Amino acid sequence: MKVLRWIVGLVFIGIFFGLNFYYYHGPFIAKLINILLFSAIFVLYRVVIGPSAADRIVAVDILGVLSIGLLSLFGLFFNQGFFMDVGLIWALMSFVASIAFAKILEGRSIDD
């Protein structure tokens, strides 16, 4: 069953990359945005189906990193600087949230 899931996942990834790079004739930044959005789908799957709380927290942290990357690519694509500002604020909030989640998983309270 596990091997079948890996094979199906690799087939979906192969189809996506084939469609994204060979059939879609848009700007390269738009292709990168598509890759990050496709990656976010897999990370959201791990957030929902994650086997443990630690896996879910790591997936939320990775989702934050993907969001920061998306915001920076949107800033380059639309030539707007406020996307970079929002990405910087998101990075700081994601860092604080990761520290808080780590303390909660460790069993300590936030104000320790």
pLDDT at 30 over 70: yes
Per-residue pLDDT band for 53 (boundaries 50, 70, 90) equals: confident
Higher pLDDT, 2 or 90: 90
Q: Which amino acid is at 110?
A: I
Q: What is the pTM of this model?
A: 0.82
How far is it, in rounded angstroms, from Cα 1 to Cα 11?
15
Nearest CA-CA partner of 68 in 34, 94, 41, 46: 94
pLDDT tens-digit readout, 63-106: 999 999 999 999 999 999 899 999 999 999 988 988 888 888 88
For residue 109, what pLDDT band results from cuts at 50, 70 and 90? low
